[in-house]
Amino acid sequence: MPACSHLERITPVAAAGPAECTECAPAGDTWVHLRRCLSCGHVGCCDSSPGRHAARHFRATGHPVVVSHEPEESWGWCFPDRAFLDLTGPAGSGEGTPR
């Protein structure tokens, strides 16, 4: 199923970044969930948050894929394809895996 053609073209940046929306936090705003841009590591808030900074980041930069920034979640979302991406498979590997 060709859900998304962008994911394989992205070289994911290391999983880091603040545990807060980089745009809400300085403004003192609140958010619901966080998403991290797979292209540049920008951390923004989800569409359930007032700021919707992850979506705004996509519109501003064209970076297509965000992943959940919640520690226990492994999924992503492609904005252009409106596709949910399951990242729990072995392909991604590593991120957040304790050893």
Minimum CB–partner distance for residue 32 and Zn ion (Å): 9
Q: Which positions from 22 to 41 touch Zn ion by CB under 5 A, shown as an x/- string? A: -xx------x-----x-xx-
**Residue 39 vs 92, nearer CB to Zn ion:** 39
Q: By C-alpha distance, which of 6, 18, 2, 16 is closest to 76?
A: 6
**Helix and strand counts by DSSP (H, E) for the chain:** 2, 5
Q: Which of residues 31-90 bind Zn ion (CB under 5 A)?
A: 31, 37, 39-40, 42, 45, 51, 53, 61, 63, 78, 81
> What are residue 54's phi and psi, to 5 degrees?
-65, -45
